Amino acid sequence: MTAGPDLQSLLDAQRSAFFSEELATPRVRRDRLTRAIDLLVSHEAELCDIIAQDFGQRPANLTRFMDIFPAVHALKFARRHHTYDAQWLFFRGSRRRRTSGLRGCASCSTSLITTASA
Protein backbone atom coordinates (compact mmCIF):
# COMPACT_ATOMS: atom_id res chain seq x y z
CA MET A 1 0.00 0.00 0.00
CA THR A 2 1.41 3.37 -0.99
CA ALA A 3 0.65 6.75 0.44
CA GLY A 4 -1.47 9.13 -1.61
CA PRO A 5 0.12 12.09 -3.39
CA ASP A 6 -0.86 14.57 -0.67
CA LEU A 7 0.54 12.40 2.10
CA GLN A 8 3.68 11.63 0.13
CA SER A 9 4.37 15.31 -0.57
CA LEU A 10 3.86 16.09 3.13
CA LEU A 11 6.31 13.36 4.13
CA ASP A 12 8.83 14.56 1.54
CA ALA A 13 8.56 18.12 2.86
CA GLN A 14 9.07 16.91 6.44
CA ARG A 15 12.06 14.79 5.43
CA SER A 16 13.75 17.65 3.56
CA ALA A 17 13.12 20.06 6.45
CA PHE A 18 14.61 17.55 8.89
CA PHE A 19 17.76 16.96 6.87
CA SER A 20 18.23 20.64 5.97
CA GLU A 21 18.32 21.66 9.64
CA GLU A 22 21.69 21.63 11.32
CA LEU A 23 21.97 20.25 14.84
CA ALA A 24 19.38 21.95 17.01
CA THR A 25 20.58 24.21 19.78
CA PRO A 26 20.05 23.10 23.37
CA ARG A 27 17.28 25.68 23.76
CA VAL A 28 15.44 24.33 20.72
CA ARG A 29 15.84 20.72 21.88
CA ARG A 30 14.55 21.57 25.36
CA ASP A 31 11.61 23.46 23.83
CA ARG A 32 10.74 20.48 21.63
CA LEU A 33 10.83 18.13 24.62
CA THR A 34 8.57 20.46 26.60
CA ARG A 35 6.10 20.77 23.71
CA ALA A 36 5.99 16.99 23.30
CA ILE A 37 5.21 16.60 27.02
CA ASP A 38 2.52 19.28 26.81
CA LEU A 39 0.92 17.58 23.79
CA LEU A 40 0.75 14.20 25.50
CA VAL A 41 -0.65 15.64 28.73
CA SER A 42 -3.17 17.99 27.13
CA HIS A 43 -4.49 15.35 24.71
CA GLU A 44 -4.46 12.44 27.15
CA ALA A 45 -8.22 11.83 27.01
CA GLU A 46 -8.33 11.95 23.21
CA LEU A 47 -5.39 9.55 22.97
CA CYS A 48 -7.09 7.14 25.37
CA ASP A 49 -10.30 7.25 23.31
CA ILE A 50 -8.51 6.72 20.00
CA ILE A 51 -6.43 3.82 21.34
CA ALA A 52 -9.57 2.24 22.86
CA GLN A 53 -11.25 2.44 19.44
CA ASP A 54 -8.18 0.95 17.78
CA PHE A 55 -7.97 -1.99 20.21
CA GLY A 56 -11.72 -2.42 20.37
CA GLN A 57 -12.11 -2.20 24.13
CA ARG A 58 -9.08 -1.02 26.08
CA PRO A 59 -9.42 0.66 29.48
CA ALA A 60 -8.20 4.25 29.63
CA ASN A 61 -6.15 3.54 32.77
CA LEU A 62 -4.23 0.83 30.92
CA THR A 63 -3.43 3.27 28.13
CA ARG A 64 -2.32 5.89 30.65
CA PHE A 65 -0.01 3.50 32.50
CA MET A 66 1.33 1.60 29.49
CA ASP A 67 1.59 4.30 26.82
CA ILE A 68 1.24 7.89 28.03
CA PHE A 69 2.97 7.81 31.43
CA PRO A 70 6.16 6.05 30.18
CA ALA A 71 6.44 8.47 27.26
CA VAL A 72 6.01 11.54 29.49
CA HIS A 73 8.46 10.11 32.01
CA ALA A 74 11.09 9.46 29.33
CA LEU A 75 10.65 12.95 27.87
CA LYS A 76 10.98 14.54 31.32
CA PHE A 77 14.08 12.46 32.00
CA ALA A 78 15.61 13.59 28.70
CA ARG A 79 14.78 17.22 29.44
CA ARG A 80 16.17 17.02 32.99
CA HIS A 81 19.43 15.33 31.92
CA HIS A 82 19.93 17.39 28.79
CA THR A 83 23.44 18.75 28.49
CA TYR A 84 25.04 21.12 26.03
CA ASP A 85 27.98 18.93 25.05
CA ALA A 86 27.84 16.51 22.15
CA GLN A 87 27.85 13.31 24.22
CA TRP A 88 24.62 12.24 22.55
CA LEU A 89 26.61 11.77 19.33
CA PHE A 90 28.60 8.94 20.87
CA PHE A 91 27.47 5.55 22.03
CA ARG A 92 28.01 5.12 25.75
CA GLY A 93 31.20 3.19 26.49
CA SER A 94 32.28 3.19 22.87
CA ARG A 95 34.37 5.26 20.53
CA ARG A 96 31.94 4.69 17.66
CA ARG A 97 29.75 7.55 16.54
CA ARG A 98 26.54 7.72 14.59
CA THR A 99 26.57 8.76 11.00
CA SER A 100 25.04 12.13 10.23
CA GLY A 101 22.43 10.56 7.93
CA LEU A 102 20.91 8.64 10.81
CA ARG A 103 20.46 11.30 13.48
CA GLY A 104 18.39 10.01 16.35
CA CYS A 105 18.79 6.35 15.41
CA ALA A 106 19.74 4.46 18.57
CA SER A 107 20.10 1.06 16.91
CA CYS A 108 22.11 1.69 13.76
CA SER A 109 23.51 -1.32 11.94
CA THR A 110 27.24 -1.84 12.26
CA SER A 111 27.78 -1.22 8.56
CA LEU A 112 26.47 2.33 8.98
CA ILE A 113 28.62 3.22 11.99
CA THR A 114 31.93 4.94 11.49
CA THR A 115 34.77 4.56 13.91
CA ALA A 116 36.16 7.74 15.45
CA SER A 117 39.86 8.22 15.00
CA ALA A 118 41.93 7.85 18.13
The DSSP result for 63-85, as a single string, is: HIIIIIHHHHHHHHHHHHT--SS
Rounded distance between C-alpha atoms, residue 78 and residue 62, angstroms = 24
Domain total for the chain?
A: 2
Tens digits of residue pLDDT in 26-41: 888 899 999 999 999 9
pLDDT at 22: 79
Tens digits of residue pLDDT in 44-101: 999 999 999 999 889 999 999 999 999 999 999 999 887 655 555 544 554 444 444 5
Name, in order, each residue with C-beta under 8 angstroms of 26's C-beta and a sequence gap of 6 or more: 82, 83, 84
Whether 34 and 74 share a structural domain: yes
Between residues 68 and 112, which one has the greater pLDDT?
68
Q: What is the pTM of this model?
A: 0.60
pLDDT at 65: 94
pLDDT at 88: 52
Whether 75 and 102 share a structural domain: no
Q: Which residues pair with 90 in a beta bridge?
A: 97
Cβ atoms of 63 and 48 within 8 Å: the answer is yes
Positive or negative: CA dihedral 100, 105, 109, 113: positive
Whether 46 and 59 share a structural domain: yes
Q: Give domain status of residue 65, yes or no.
A: yes
Indicate the pLDDT class of residue 2, thresholds 50, 70 and 90: low
What is the CA angle 88-18-104, rounded to 5? Answer: 25
